[in-house]
């Protein structure tokens, strides 16, 4: 049986006012740390390594029902420094590639 996977797609945008020669996407590490903490608390599992995909950076979570996974994805979209325009793709672990599935704009309202 397939397990639900939520892909969190974050636009690859540099935060405003970034010092010269600074890492342009500090929010990637913040999201990775947040998702690691959620995994340690047993709320989700990181499904795969996060990676760049075109104009977005994608994080993958599983290990809970769709509602819980989307709630965590929504919290990611609300983290300080995360660019606007974050969305989730609801798919499963049997998908042949990512970026397919049902799109959900984040944060949830």
2 lies in some domain = yes
Residue 58's domain spans which residues? Answer: 1-9+27-85
79 lies in some domain = yes
Residue 89 confidence (pLDDT) = 97
54 lies in some domain = yes
CATH number of the domain where residue 31 is located: 3.30.70
> What one-character-per-residue DSSP string does 45-97 give?
EEEEEEEEETTEEEEEEESS-HHHHHHHHHHHHTSTTPPS--EEEEEETT-SS
**Cα angle 64, 5, 31; round to 5:** 85
62 lies in some domain = yes
Residue 107: asked if its preceding bond is cis (omega within 30°), the reply is yes
Q: What is the pTM of this model?
A: 0.93
Instruction: Give SS3 for 38.
Output: helix
16 lies in some domain = no
What average pLDDT values come out for the chain (109 residues) when binned by 10 residues?
A: 94 85 90 97 93 95 97 97 96 86 94
Which secondary-structure segment (H or E) carries 35? helix 26-40
The total of structural domains in the chain comes to 1
Using CA atoms, how far apart are residues 47 and 62, in angstroms rounded to an integer? 6
57 lies in some domain = yes
């Amino acid at each position: 049986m397939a397990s639900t996977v939520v892909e969190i797609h974050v636009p690859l945008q540099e935060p405003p006012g970034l010092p010269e020669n600074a890492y342009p996407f500090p929010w990637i590490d913040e999201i990775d740390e947040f998702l690691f903490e959620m995994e340690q608390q047993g709320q989700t599992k990181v499904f795969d390594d996060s990676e760049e995909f075109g104009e977005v950076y994608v994080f993958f979570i599983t290990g809970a029902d769709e509602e819980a996974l989307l709630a965590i994805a929504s919290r990611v979209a609300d983290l300080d420094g995360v660019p606007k325009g974050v969305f989730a793709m609801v798919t499963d672990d049997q998908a042949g590639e990512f970026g397919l599935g049902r799109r959900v704009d984040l944060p949830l309202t």
